[in-house]
Chains A and B, each alone.
Chain A
Amino acid sequence: MKPRATVATDAERTEGRTAVPSGEDNSDEDGARARSRASGPPARPSKRRGKKTKAPFEPGGITRRLRFRRDRTLILMTVPAMVLLLVFNYIPLLGNVVAFQDYDVYDLGITGSPFVGFDNFTRIFEDHRFWEVLLNTLVIFLTQLILFFPIPIAIALLLNTIMSARVRAWVQAIVYLPHFFSWVLVVTVFQQMFGGAGLVAQWLREHGHEGFDLMTNPGFFKFLVTSQAIWKDAGWGVIVFLAALAAVNTDLYEAAAVDGAGRWRRMWHVTLPALRPVIALLLVLRVGSALNLDFEQILLQRDQVGAGASEILDTYIWWTGIKTGDFGYAAAAGIFKGLFSVAMVLGANKVAHMMGEQGVYSKK
């Protein structure tokens, strides 16, 4: 915009397309010259349909009422989505009042149930089962973070060194595939491989060993869910890193090679630094959603493994609320989870800023 100076500005203004911000971005003298040359009314609000107005101008050069009239179709288009969000995201938010009630589903409902203040929260904090579940959630999360996170990076680095576009496309097609499988399917596939009647147990029995059943082993559960997550989504995670790798300036590699850096040093000093912001961003997001493990995945296996090893915060909320009917307690646990998650995002982002990375939102 800037280098094209007055002519471009003028042309665009008469075309009536200049968006509000870019129009105002031009330095004042540009704007002034453009305006003085155009012999129309001062500061024409030449917006899309070139509607004329004598009303006082907003920064956009057009009144709110006119902007509304101009954009009413656009606003109309967003209505269905906004209604859905309102009904299924914002109204339930108000439904969280049951956390402060002695909620009775059958007779009283939300409007009639008596308020009990913070009783539900005190019950949570005094319940040692709740703390066990929270700890278990964090343990599973950490296992996943440590074992899962490096794998997409490794696959991306490997794929990036493959020159043949055809091989790359095939491998990508294969590694992306399990991402589109449902959790039910993934868990059943694991059941057929590692369950008591699965392929591995079957092979071991044929060769005279004891069969085993990883699917019902509580001690192994955190590694089981991690390997399922890796099987399903590690390939999909590659996309982000491949894009970041494709954006690296190849001149850097050439310069490094000319300076005598071999392939490992180029990877260490060029590739990995280029990935750093992406890694930081994904880490922040991941830590921020620490309590949002894959609910479906774990709920599917809760019966087999037993609630002791497999209960996470989400399944605990589901169990206490929907299964045993203690809605107030479960909703309070849900609020705790929400606040805890927000604190985790903010905390992780703060750490990222301290390490000089940008994080999810920039520091302003």
Chain B
Amino acid sequence: MTTLLDTEKDGRPSARPTAERTRTPLQRALRTEHRPVWEEEPTKAGLAFKGVGLFAICAVILVPIWVVVVTSLSDTKAINEAGGLVVWPKTVTFVAYTELLSGGAVTRAALVSIGLTVVGTVFSMVISVLCAYGLSRKDSFAHRPLLMTMMATMFFGAGLIPTYLLVTGIGLSDSYWSMILPSAISVFNILVLRGFFMDTAPELIDAARIDGAGEWRILLQIIMPLSRAVIAVISLFYAVGYWSQWFNAMLYIQDSDKYPLQMILRQLVLQHQVPPGAMGAAVSSGQINSLSVQMAVMVLALIPVAVLSPFVQKHFQKGMLTGAVKG
């Protein structure tokens, strides 16, 4: 493809012969097959500007994360030498992590968060997929009123106070369910799923129906396998929501044994309180720096999302836009 374009270009009297001759290797490398022939080649200043811009954007996001990770892996000596946060790693030690994960409040909170995320995501996904499929036929019974009932909740919320009174009123306070049920489904996510299900080729569904498949079998064996990408994206959205949960926990959970990780993180870093049992003897005796312990909790909170989200990244754009616009 490249060669074809080049010969075409060379065969024709070129509009900018001097530019052709004075191309730097960099510019030659940039003449990719993606660039249409009518488009100018990038100028050096433009390229430099773009490079600096992209680098700056990435640095703004990555540097803080880098500092947090490096400090969590540093020992007391390195932290004292640096006078606080460590930018360049000197030694790598995992004591902060072994200390945190060897029992105590942080281990407990991490387990609570993992449990909430797994149970909550499965719960939310089952309900959302069923609802999305149930509403995926425009001519089905009561389709429109049901859809309107759902979408109306996107435009008004009941408000904090009545919701709080309800959740505590039905006896959910201090229950793990208070962190799952009130925000279990997102209407937006259901609409995205529904949009995808509606796009499934009707011929497939007809064929399955002729072969005697009922709605459940069609959903499980035709629709779900075809919608793997969007199901992955929506699952990630729900999982991130549960993992990041802080507000519901703060409102409804008084028993510190049921605190999720975000509550502990806030106590440690923002309120400078040490939850009982969060840091063992090693910290108080100065073997491990409390700063690196704080950082280790932060890393624990960010690892799952940092690891998972790039895997589904390529589906984001499709997932965000395709489904949401269908009435």
Q: Looking at the complex, which one of A21, A81, A253, A342 makes contact with B190 (CB distance below 8 Å)?
A: A81
**For residues 36 through 53 of chain B, which have their beta carbon under 8 Å from a beta carbon of chain A?**
36, 38-40, 50, 53
Please encode chain A, from 63 to 93, with 1 for each CB lying within 8 Å of some chain B CB and 0 for all others: 0100110111111111011101101111111
Judge whether B321 and A188 touch: CB under 8 Å.
no
Q: Looking at the complex, which one of B62, B131, B156, B214 makes contact with A78 (CB distance below 8 Å)?
A: B131
| A residues in contact with B1, CB < 8 Å | none
| B residues in contact with A321, CB < 8 Å | 160-161, 164
Task: Known A77-B130, A202-B83; judge A60-B161 contact (CB<8 A).
Answer: no
Task: Known A92-B159, A262-B40, A299-B247; judge A235-B61 contact (CB<8 A).
Answer: yes
**For residues 308 through 326 of chain B, which have their beta carbon under 8 Å from a beta carbon of chain A?**
309-310, 313-314, 316-317, 320-321
What distance in Å separates the Cβ of B228 from its nearest Cβ neighbour in chain A?
20
Main secondary structure of the interface of A (DSSP, over half): helix
Judge whether A92 and B130 touch: CB under 8 Å.
no
Task: Known A199-B67, A235-B61; judge A75-B301 contact (CB<8 A).
Answer: no
Task: Known A184-B301, A235-B61; judge A314-B160 contact (CB<8 A).
Answer: yes
Q: Looking at the complex, which one of A78, A167, A243 makes contact with B146 (CB distance below 8 Å)?
A: A78
| A residues in contact with B67, CB < 8 Å | 192-193, 199
Task: Compute how far the CA of A257 lies from the CA of B143 in the bound complex, rounded to whole angstroms.
Answer: 49
Task: Known A164-B32, A172-B313; judge A189-B57 contact (CB<8 A).
Answer: no
Residue A139, interface by CB 8 Å: no
What distance in Å separates the Cβ of A334 from its nearest Cβ neighbour in chain B?
4
Q: Looking at the complex, which one of B64, B162, B214, B244 makes contact with A93 (CB distance below 8 Å)?
A: B162
Please encode chain B, from 297 to 314, with 1 for each CB lying within 8 Å of some chain A CB and 0 for all others: 010011001100110011
What distance in Å separates the Cβ of B239 from its nearest Cβ neighbour in chain A?
9
Task: Known A85-B185, A184-B265, A192-B85; judge A77-B134 contact (CB<8 A).
Answer: yes
Judge whether A177 and B161 touch: CB under 8 Å.
no
Q: Looking at the complex, which one of A81, A163, A296, A337 makes contact with B30 (CB distance below 8 Å)?
A: A163
Q: Looking at the complex, which one of B135, B163, B216, B320 makes contact with A88 (CB distance below 8 Å)?
A: B163
Binds B, one of A12-20, A28-36, A142-150: A12-20
What distance in Å separates the Cβ of B304 from its nearest Cβ neighbour in chain A?
9
Task: Known A17-B206, A180-B309; judge A198-B85 contact (CB<8 A).
Answer: yes
Judge whether B85 and A330 touch: CB under 8 Å.
no
Judge whether A322 and B61 touch: CB under 8 Å.
no
Task: Known A88-B182, A188-B265, A262-B40; judge A49-B209 contact (CB<8 A).
Answer: yes
Please encode chain A, from 234 to 260, with 1 for each CB lying within 8 Å of some chain B CB and 0 for all others: 010001101100000010011001100
Task: Compute how far the CA of A165 lies from the CA of B33 in the bound complex, rounded to whole angstroms.
Answer: 12
Q: Among the interface residues A78, A176, A178, which one has the most CB atoms of the partner chain B within 10 A?
A: A78
Q: Looking at the complex, which one of A15, A94, A185 makes contact with B298 (CB distance below 8 Å)?
A: A185
Judge whether A322 and B133 touch: CB under 8 Å.
no
Task: Known A17-B206, A198-B85; judge A96-B159 contact (CB<8 A).
Answer: yes
| B residues in contact with A187, CB < 8 Å | 270
Residue A2, interface by CB 8 Å: no
What distance in Å separates the Cβ of B220 from its nearest Cβ neighbour in chain A?
12
Judge whether B270 and A188 touch: CB under 8 Å.
yes
Q: How many residues of A contact B (CB 8 A)?
A: 108
Task: Known A74-B215, A197-B84; judge A171-B58 contact (CB<8 A).
Answer: yes
Judge whether A161 and B162 touch: CB under 8 Å.
no
| A residues in contact with B34, CB < 8 Å | 163, 165
What distance in Å separates the Cβ of B306 from its nearest Cβ neighbour in chain A?
6
Task: Compute how far the CA of A174 lies from the CA of B40 in the bound complex, rounded to whole angstroms.
Answer: 29
Task: Compute how far the CA of A176 lies from the CA of B214 in the bound complex, rounded to whole angstroms.
Answer: 40
| B residues in contact with A105, CB < 8 Å | 165
Residue A182, interface by CB 8 Å: yes
| A residues in contact with B285, CB < 8 Å | none
Task: Compute how far the CA of A187 lies from the CA of B265 in the bound complex, rounded to whole angstroms.
Answer: 10
| A residues in contact with B97, CB < 8 Å | none
Binds A, one of B5-13, B16-24, B147-155, B274-282: B147-155
Judge whether B138 and A20 touch: CB under 8 Å.
yes
| A residues in contact with B54, CB < 8 Å | 158, 162, 167, 171
Task: Compute how far the CA of A70 lies from the CA of B294 in the bound complex, rounded to whole angstroms.
Answer: 58
What distance in Å separates the Cβ of A201 from its nearest Cβ neighbour in chain B?
9
Task: Known A167-B54, A318-B160; judge A81-B64 contact (CB<8 A).
Answer: no
Q: Looking at the complex, which one of A162, A258, A331 makes contact with B161 (CB distance below 8 Å)?
A: A331
**For residues 219 through 246 of chain A, which have their beta carbon under 8 Å from a beta carbon of chain B?**
231, 235, 239-240, 242-243
| A residues in contact with B258, CB < 8 Å | none
Closest 3 CB pairs of A and B: A95-B162, A182-B244, A92-B158
Known: A77-B130, A84-B184. 18 other contacts (CB 8 A): A73-B215, A81-B128, A87-B166, A91-B158, A95-B161, A169-B314, A173-B310, A177-B305, A180-B309, A183-B244, A184-B244, A184-B301, A192-B298, A243-B317, A300-B246, A314-B160, A322-B251, A338-B156
> Can you pick out 16 interface pairs between chain A and chain B where the beta carbons lie within 8 Å of each other?
A19-B138, A77-B131, A80-B126, A81-B131, A84-B185, A90-B153, A92-B159, A98-B161, A98-B165, A158-B50, A163-B34, A187-B270, A189-B68, A231-B61, A322-B164, A338-B156
